[in-house]
Structure 1
């Protein structure tokens, strides 16, 4: 029997990770992307990661934006890094199950549990990952050069609508983000209104999904 040194992946859908601090807007981004990709006729599934609950998965299931059977939850336990970076096997198993149960799935969104600026995704798990920060967290976030800010394929600066109320300078955040990201893209959004979602979806289609 011939053993393949590099066996082909068992999943075929594009896998996009969504990470960022607690409250930055990760679940809101998932919901907005679900609505946007539904309008584009794309077949999408979701895997959420929480520490010891399934709250985010339940929220997405109840949103009416997706067939609830297309959403699975992974409980990360004590550290949200573990299941998206050190040992992504639980998430990979969830993706494989979704693809098996929903043939033709084109995209799986994997939402990380809320974490600090050090959150990153294993390249064994995702093809592309988005890191979400928000203006209410402070306009000095890009200068702190956390791994999520620096390494993510896309940095999304959310809650631009709150910037005037919290004294954040969005233009400075964007400029400083570009300085530390080595040419990787930076976008802005107000996910409460949906502003910026189309641009995120366009980028995902162009870069990793269907281009």
Structure 2
């Protein structure tokens, strides 16, 4: 399947935060920091939520204008170099990208647009059927159960999200936000012995999704 297709991945888009963790171990103690590390208009309040900073229905529902909040949407859309660069990469390849997945943790959810509204997009069934294919293959590996649907329907409306931009602006039909293990027992601090099983089942789900996309896009 990959003989004629490319798979691009980034282990961590928010590398500024990752770097900060390693360089300032004595000062930087929030292991679960979610924002970027850019300066804001408020002293000692840093960064924006990278998944609230995209230029699609920016900074409305589910986002904050307060630089001190974890869900701060940024001073403007694409104010953060991380989101701006990923958007540029995608825009430069507009028309060639058919699938985008934004992996997070936790909650065990395989979600599609929209994030900003509970109204389903025109291609929702096509997208959600892809989610179902992925989940079925994922569950078959270790029995892990996932939910599927749109972000707004499963969680709550959230504006300025990554997959709303990739779908609504970049026209990437199969745009997904995936929340990996678990459902709350360990939350963000998943035990080491679950990392490999999580990877195994996620890869199975990804392979099934790509086969589904291949059938519907290139058949």
Asked which structure has the greater RCO (Cα within 8 Å, sep 6+), the reply is 1
**TM, length-normalised to structure 1:** 0.33
**TM, length-normalised to structure 2:** 0.32
- Return the structure number with greater strand share: 1
- Return the structure number with greater helix share: 1
